[in-house]
């Protein structure tokens, strides 16, 4: 796998020089400048001052990862000198990622930050997730975790930290932090304002809105998310959605979509009394039963993600040339099997048709590789399957539908796919691949052109619907994933916490400090003296101790008061 922190783009390489002496070199010895240059370049759109904050992603989409992307981009832009008191920064989208970036840019850069949001509410659809459980680490991509860390329920970010809970309560935690920080770091938020245009205007970027306003900005960050929640995932998930038929007859349910949302529907339909928050409990015996194999699952996910991304980023002609080249080198290579004609005939075909055939063939190859790994190579003993078998519902027949030959989608987490593999072992569901249609009230359901009779309930989880903004589509370009950069791997959380540490931020995280994490924060500040100089970090460390003592005293007084009241 390629090193995710390097880039082949010449415009980024021009800025790579060792020993810059800036914050970040302590986290990346001799490579801070290179890392920041690569990250800024990878987030850039076709316009030089406009950056995309994960809105074109389809995998590794969790609340934690969106915050990680936001902090990473804020760090990289600050490192490159793109953020500062004289800069005007616009953020399009007031979801979790957009607001996290906006506050990070204000905290670290002192910029004038304006957030544009087309709806009336902040933080987006997750704020409605009363039945959807979110965890800071459990659902992220498995190659970023050593194990399903269900015990560590804190996000561990520089600020806007949260503990695992239902999505609406998590957003309440973050919203309270946002409101408190706004008094020290004010960010302008314009709700009910739709952006209608983003275009270059000399060295700046012009933003137009539906209110007829046009403003210039030095930096624009697009954080529009992944589109409206068309499937209603965040607003659903209550146990009432999965109850059986009132007459006691068997419920026949179809779930279309093999991402995490669809798999959670399957778990609810297959298991009695399933609660989203208990996924970690379901996982533990399965993980214990296949020691060492989780790394294989994660490695396959990473290989698939990189391979499919490269296929989509490669031109049709280059892809055909590569397939033909591999045909002469490795007859078993996945690029080769779809070329059933001679080289001369292959080149005479429409390049788009041939390239699409190659892409479909490789996707099918990866799907079969996933199916073989989860269904055949993972040896799950009966002792690990018994707890699931005991909880199987007898009042529901479950049919899972997906586009690929395998139900193990790249968009689903390894942990959920592991539970799915176990459920398939005990015969809890059927899988039917093929195109899906119907599902609306009174409309029959078809999978692969075949009608599925007597369907009582349908769950369509095809992901968010992309916004049809002409200006957004025109800005898209190939980029890598900032969630696997500075903050989320190789213990970089301490560096990021120190980088964004200020007295106000330390006050904000004071409750976390009072609950036993003061030593972690002190070590971060001493290890990464990024605020001014080493003496500046020392002052912050002392301030941290004062906060910890004060909050501990306050808590003790509260406990004594409660005892006295008794």
What is the spatial distance between Cα 358 and Cα 316, in angstroms, rounded to a whole number?
Answer: 10
Task: Name the more confident of 351 and 552.
Answer: 351
At 384, list the tokens.
Answer: 């690990």
pLDDT value of position 161: 86
Mean pLDDT over residues 187-207, rounded? 93
- Indicate the pLDDT class of residue 510, thresholds 50, 70 and 90: low
Q: Taking 90 as the threshold, does the pLDDT of residue 436 lie above it?
A: yes
Q: What is the per-residue pLDDT for 115?
A: 97
The mean of the pLDDT values for the chain is 75
pLDDT in tens, 249-289: 889 999 999 988 899 899 999 999 888 777 777 777 888 88
Q: What is the pLDDT of residue 152?
A: 65
> If you average pLDDT over residues 456-476, what whole number do you get?
70
**What is the C-alpha to C-alpha distance for residues 312 and 334, in angstroms, rounded to an integer?**
15
pLDDT at res. 247: 81
Query: Environment class of residue 486 by beta-carbon count within 10 Å: exposed (0-12), middle (13-18) or buried (19+)?
Result: buried
Q: Please say if the pLDDT value at position 459 is more than 80.
A: yes
Whether 92 contacts 98, CB under 8 Å: yes
Is the pLDDT at 229 greater than 60? The verdict is yes
Taking phi over 0 as left and psi of -120 to 50 as alpha, with beta for the rest, 259 belongs to: beta
Is it the case that residue 531 has pLDDT exceeding 60?
no
Instruction: Mean pLDDT check: name the lowest of 87-91, 399-403, 501-505.
Output: 501-505
Q: Please, are residues 498 and 531 in contact by the beta-carbon 8 Å criterion?
A: yes
pTM for the full predicted model: 0.76
Q: Which letter does DSSP use for residue 277 in this model?
A: G
Question: In sequence order, what are the beta bridge partners of 166?
Answer: 133
**Is there a contact between 75 and 488 (Cβ–Cβ < 8 Å)?**
no
pLDDT of residue 551: 53
Non-local CB neighbours of 173 within 8 Å, separated by 6+ positions? 161, 162, 163, 165
pLDDT at position 434 is 92
pLDDT recorded at residue 560:
53
Mean pLDDT of 89-111: 93
Among 127-136, 346-355, 411-420, which is the least confidently predicted range? 346-355
What whole-number distance in Å separates Cα of residue 384 and Cα of residue 338?
A: 40
Report the C-alpha gap between 103 and 276 in whole angstroms. 31
Higher-confidence residue of 2 and 525: namely: 525
Q: CA angle at residue 399 from 397 to 405, to 5 degrees? A: 150
Is the pLDDT score of 12 beyond 60? no
Residue 97 has pLDDT above 70, yes or no: yes
**Amino acid 345: pLDDT:** 53
Q: 9: which 2 tokens?
A: 């783009």
* DSSP annotation string for 109-158: H--EEEEE-SSSSSS-GGGG-SS-EE-TTTTS-GGG-SS---S--B---S
Q: What is the pLDDT of residue 28?
A: 45
Cα(309)–Cα(323) distance, integer angstroms: 16
How would you class 296 by CB atoms within 10 Å of its CB: exposed for 0-12, middle for 13-18, buried for 19 or more?
A: middle
With 70 as the cut, is the pLDDT of residue 232 above it?
yes
- Residue pair 531/537 in contact (Cβ under 8 Å)? The answer is yes
**Residue recorded with tokens 């101790």:** 545
More confident residue, 32 or 342: 32
Question: CB 427: neighbour CB atoms within 10 A?
Answer: 9
Q: Measured between alpha carbons, how far is 399 from 383 in angstroms, rounded to an integer?
A: 26
pLDDT of residue 337: 56
CB 132 within 8 A of CB 237: yes
For residue 98, the cross-strand partners are none
Contact 126, 170 (CB under 8 A): yes
410 falls in which pLDDT band (50, 70, 90)? confident
What is the pLDDT at residue 346? 53
**Strands 195-201, 50-52: parallel, antiparallel or unpaired by DSSP?**
unpaired
DSSP 203: T
Instruction: Report how far residue 175's alpha carbon sits from residue 159's, in angstroms, rounded to the nearest whole number.
Output: 12
Average pLDDT over residues 534-561: 53
For the stretch 310-353, pLDDT in tens is 777 677 777 777 776 665 555 555 555 555 544 445 555 677 77
For residue 19, pLDDT beyond 80: no
Mean per-residue pLDDT for 302-308?
A: 73
Secondary structure (DSSP) of 465-507: PPP--HHHHHH------GGGSTTTSTT-HHHHHHHT--HHHHH
Q: What are phi and psi for residue 167, nearest 5 degrees?
A: -60, -40
pLDDT tens per residue across span 136-164: 876 654 433 444 444 467 787 888 988 88
Q: CA of 430: how far to CAs of 290, 410, 427, in Å?
A: 24, 19, 8
What is the predicted pLDDT for the residue at 164? 86
Which domains are delineated in the chain?
45-228+468-480 (3.50.50.60), 239-290+379-460 (3.50.50), 296-369 (no CATH), 501-566 (no CATH)
Of the chain, the percentage scoring pLDDT greater than 70 comes to: 66
Distance of CA 425 to the CA centre of its chain: 29
Q: What is the pLDDT of residue 114?
A: 97
pLDDT for 225: 76
Bridge partners, 89 (sequence order): 113, 219
- Tell whether the torsion through CA atoms of 281, 422, 369 and 398 is positive or negative: negative
Angle separating helix axes 414-425 and 382-390, nearest 10 degrees: 80
pLDDT band at 26 (very low <50, low <70, confident <90, very high): very low
pLDDT at 562: 59
Strands 251-256 and 219-222, by their bridges, are unpaired
Terminal Cα distance for the chain, rounded = 63
Q: Are 48 and 200 in contact (CB under 8 A)?
A: yes
Q: What's the pLDDT band for 194 if we cut at 50, 70, 90? A: very high
């Amino acid at each position: 796998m390629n090193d995710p922190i390097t880039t082949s783009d010449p415009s980024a390489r021009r800025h790579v020089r060792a020993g810059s002496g800036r914050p970040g070199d302590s986290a990346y010895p001799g490579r801070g400048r290179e890392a920041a240059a690569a990250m800024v370049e990878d987030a850039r759109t076709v316009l030089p001052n406009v950056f995309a904050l994960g809105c074109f992603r389809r995998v590794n989409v969790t609340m934690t990862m969106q915050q990680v992307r936001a902090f990473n981009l804020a760090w990289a832009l600050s490192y490159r000198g793109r953020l500062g008191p004289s800069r005007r920064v616009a953020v399009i989208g007031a979801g979790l990622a957009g607001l996290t970036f906006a506050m990070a840019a204000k905290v670290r850069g002192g910029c004038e930050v304006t957030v544009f949001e087309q709806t009336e509410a902040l933080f987006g659809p997750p704020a409605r997730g009363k039945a959807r459980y979110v965890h800071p680490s459990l659902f992220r991509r498995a190659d970023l975790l050593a194990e399903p860390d269900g015990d560590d329920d804190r996000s561990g970010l520089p600020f806007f930290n949260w503990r695992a809970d239902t999505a609406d309560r998590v957003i309440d935690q973050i919203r309270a932090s946002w409101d408190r920080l706004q008094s020290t770091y004010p960010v302008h938020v314009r709700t009910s304002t739709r952006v209608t245009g983003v275009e270059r205007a000399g060295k700046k970027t012009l933003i137009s809105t539906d209110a007829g306003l046009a403003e210039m900005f030095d930096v624009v960050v697009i954080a529009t998310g992944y589109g409206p929640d068309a499937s209603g995932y965040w607003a659903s998930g209550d146990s009432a959605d999965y109850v059986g038929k009132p007459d006691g007859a068997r419920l026949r349910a179809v779930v279309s979509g093999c991402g995490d949302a669809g798999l959670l529907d399957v778990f609810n339909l297959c298991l009695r009394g399933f609660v989203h928050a208990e996924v970690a409990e379901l996982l533990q015996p399965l993980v214990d039963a296949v020691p060492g194999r989780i790394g294989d699952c994660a490695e396959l996910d990473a290989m698939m993600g990189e391979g499919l991304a490269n296929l989509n980023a490669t031109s049709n002609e280059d892809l055909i040339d590569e397939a033909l080249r591999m045909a002469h080198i490795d007859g078993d290579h996945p690029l080769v099997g779809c070329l059933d004609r001679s080289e001369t005939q292959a080149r005479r075909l429409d390049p788009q048709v041939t390239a699409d055939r190659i892409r479909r063939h490789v996707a099918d190859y990866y799907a079969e590789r996933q199916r073989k790994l989860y269904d055949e190579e993972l040896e799950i003993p009966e002792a690990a399957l018994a707890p699931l078998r005991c909880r199987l519902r007898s009042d529901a027949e479950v049919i899972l539908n997906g586009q690929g030959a395998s139900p193990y989608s790249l968009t689903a987490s390894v942990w959920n796919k592991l539970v799915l593999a176990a459920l398939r072992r005990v015969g809890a569901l059927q899988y039917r691949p093929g195109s899906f249609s119907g599902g609306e009230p009174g409309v029959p359901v078809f999978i692969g052109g075949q009608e599925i009779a007597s369907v009582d309930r349908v769950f369509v989880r095809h992901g968010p619907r992309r916004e049809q903004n002409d200006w957004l589509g025109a800005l898209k370009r190939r980029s890598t994933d900032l969630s696997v950069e500075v903050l989320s791997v190789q213990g970089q959380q301490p560096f990021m916490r120190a980088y964004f540490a200020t007295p106000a931020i330390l006050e904000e995280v004071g409750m976390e400090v009072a609950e036993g994490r003061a030593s972690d924060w002190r070590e971060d500040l001493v290890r990464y003296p990024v605020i001014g100089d080493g003496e500046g970090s020392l002052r912050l460390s002392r301030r941290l101790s004062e906060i910890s003592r004060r909050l501990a005293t306050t808590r003790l007084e509260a406990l004594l008061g409660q005892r006295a009241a008794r």
